[in-house]
Structure formats: structure tokens, C-alpha cells
Amino acid sequence: MSKQIFYYGIAVLVLFSSCKTTKTTGSVIKSISSKKIIKAHQKVDFSKNTIQAKIKTYYKDAKNSQSLTIKLRIKKDEVIWMSGTFLGFPVAKVKITPTSVQYYEKITKTYFDGDFSLISDALGSDLDFQQLQNILLGQAVFDLNDGRFKSQIDQESYLVIPKKQADLFDNFYWINPKHYKLNKQEIQNREDNQKLSIIYTKYQKVSGVFFPKEMSINTTQSNQKTQIEMEFRSLVFNKKLTFPFSIPYGYKEITISDL
């Protein structure tokens, strides 16, 4: 269960509900340049200092499926913190900073204290803190200022693609023409047959900010698929937060190979 709970946490770093949601339906999309699309997307980047949310998650792989409720706290660019509960009982905590990844699970009395290789293993892509944070905020995982892009209209989105893909990865971004947050983004590793797909099903507008309300993270690694669905039940910005984390005495340390 330790692997599932951690993957819940990684997936869970996003947000929210009980506010007006938005969805593009049947509107005519105006063709504009990729440069203007990217500029508009960057303009709506998240600018609040902190985020607090409760998220209902559902995890499924080839062997298991389970639901978990997570309390999420984020201080932008500094820390992502989660506390997971199952049937009302606390079962795990996760704390992620730009330099470290820590978590512990109460059921198996195990903990991990290491670097971002754990998250990269969980999501099938080499990611750092900023890129993970971007995924949770509905922003492009990689910097769209780095390189040249082309665009086209794909159904109800602007599809933005690098004119020259990276040596190992192909990146694709479907941007909503109404509020310029992402409808979907996808990273494909051609060499290792891995794919990470993040779909932002619904957004909500809170305090003048568009933020994900429902999202789905799907990973494929060596033909094994994992799906994590998230529904964000509450959302508060700029609240003063604490990020308590202390590995309990007597817990056993584990490594990536143990997961």
C-alpha cells in the first residue's frame, strides 16, 4: 500500500470545488499565433503565495484500486505538503521541497527520505520541484520560453507543440482558448516507452484565479498503466500555513527498489 499512498500524494498535489466551474463547449476558436497563445498562458500563471485544499482521490492500477482523502498545503516555490486519510484515519504524510522528498506511512511503519528520483519513478518522467508544481497549477510542465513552437486548433483547444522535440521526450500542450490554462498536457519518452498524461477536466474560478477542480493523471510504463482521479473539495489562498513533518521513531527506511 505504501506505493499507492505515495502515488496518491504525488497525484494529489492539485486543487478544488464549490465554486463556479468553466468548460469550453461548442464555441468557435479564433486562430492565433503560438507566440500569443504562450504569452496568454504565462499571463495566467498562479500568483498567490499559499494554497490549502482537501482532495478526494481515486487510484487504480492493474492490481489495485482505492480511494483516499488528502489534505494539501502548498507554499509556492518552497514546499508541497500532504496528509492522507483512509476512512477518517490518518495513514501517511508527504513533504516535498525543491531539494528533497520525504514521506512516511503508518500502516507499514515505513518512511522515505531522499531526492526527486522517487517522484520521477512514480510519474515515469524526470521532473524537478518547479515542474511538478506547474502540473498541479494547470501550467505547462516545461518552460515555453525555451524553444520555438507551432500551434494548431485541435477540437476545442489550442495544441502547442515544439517545432523540434527534445532528444528523448515529446511534449504536447492543449491550451483552453477561454482562460488559457491547460486542458491537457502529455510527455512521451520514446526510448523507454513511457507516457505521462495530465487531463484537466474542469476548472473553477476562486478569488479571480482559474484553478483545476477535477483532474486525471495517467501513466504508462512498460505497458503497465496507472490512473489517478482527483476531485478538489475546498480551496483557500494566501492563508498562513504550517507544514509539520516528523518521521516517527522506529519506522523502517525504504528505497525506490522497495516500492
Q: What is the DSSP string of 171-219?
A: EEEEE-TTT-SEEEEEEEETTTTEEEEEEEEEEEEETTEEEEEEEEEEE
Beta bridge partners of 166: none
Q: What is the pTM of this model?
A: 0.82
Average pLDDT rounded to a whole number, residues 37-49: 93
CB 77 within 8 A of CB 130: yes
Whether residue 125 has pLDDT greater than 80: no
Closest CA to 129 of 105, 97, 151, 158: 97
**What pLDDT is stored for residue 132 in this prediction?**
87
Q: What is the predicted pLDDT for the residue at 246?
A: 94
| CB count in 10 Å sphere of residue 129 | 19
Residue at 109: amino acid letter: K
Band of the pLDDT at 20, cuts 50, 70, 90?
very low
Per-residue pLDDT for 126 more than 90? no
pLDDT average, residue stretch 126-152: 89
166 band by pLDDT with thresholds 50, 70 and 90: confident
Q: Is the pLDDT of residue 47 over 50?
A: yes
Query: What domains lie within the chain, and their CATH numbers?
Result: 2-243 (2.50.20.10)
pLDDT of 17 reads 27
241 or 193, greater pLDDT? 241
Q: What pLDDT shows up at residue 24?
A: 41
Extract the runs of DSSP E, i.e. beta strands, from the chain: 21-22, 50-60, 65-75, 79-86, 89-96, 101-105, 110-114, 149-154, 157-162, 169-175, 182-189, 194-206, 209-221, 224-237, 252-253
pLDDT at 136: 87
pLDDT band at 25 (very low <50, low <70, confident <90, very high): very low
| Mean pLDDT score, 214-241 | 89
pLDDT class of 178 with cuts at 50, 70, 90: very high
Higher-scoring residue by pLDDT: 81, 169:
81
Residue 141's closest CA among 120, 116, 119, 171?
A: 171
Q: How far apart, in whole angstroms, are the C-alpha atoms of residue 248 and residue 212?
A: 33
> Whose grid coordinates read 506547474?
134
